[in-house]
Amino acid sequence: MAVSAESVPRRYTYPDLATFPDDHLRREIIDGELIVNPAPVTRHQSAVAAILVALFNYAKACGGKALCAPYDVVLALDNVVEPDVLFIRSEHLDRLGAKYLEGPPDLVVEISSPSTRRLELVRKRELYQRFGVPEYWYVDLELDRVEVYVLEEDGYPAPGIKYPGEALETAGLPGLSVPVTEALGVD
């Protein structure tokens, strides 16, 4: 049976992103599929700011680089994401280009939004695992907790769960401590 051109979905790649207008929408590519999301809400941005400041201060003291969206992470030509926050350790700064990071960050942080929950908990988590992101934090604003995924030889096991009153710490960034309350965007 012949397949018509109309029935084959288009596969997007990184160069396609440059062809879109600057309209404040977030565009990512997962396995060639274009994903478009609206701008996030205030609490989401407060959480991004708190985590970014903590990672920025850590980078100033210990080395590395903290960045936030919009900033492309090119895992492969057909897998380009914009994590809410990411961290690159000093020994991996050679992956940074003028416009994007080529390869996996050392830490990825995604903050929940109602429209992106499934994308971040399933598709992006699987993508980060596949491309070897050592640690993935999913900040769940709906459940007021943070899920911490640490990559092991056979993938991400069940996450460690952190709640308000606790702190986010990681062996990959010794000395970093982010209060969960701040990470949840709670003032």
Predicted confidence (pLDDT) per residue in 28-45, tens digit: 898 998 888 777 788 888
Q: What is the CATH number of domain 5-183?
A: 3.90.1570.10
Beta strands in 21-71 (DSSP E): 26-30, 33-37, 65-68
Alpha-carbon span 97 to 137, nearest angstrom: 24
pLDDT tens-digit readout, 105-154:
999 999 987 766 676 777 889 999 999 999 999 999 999 999 999 999 99
Beta strands in 69-105 (DSSP E): 72-76, 79-81, 85-88, 100-102
Phi then psi for 111, rounded to 5 degrees? -110, 135
Residue 187: burial class (beta carbons within 10 Å; 0-12, 13-18, 19+): exposed
Q: Quick check: 62 and 107 in contact, CB under 8 A?
A: no
Reported pTM: 0.84
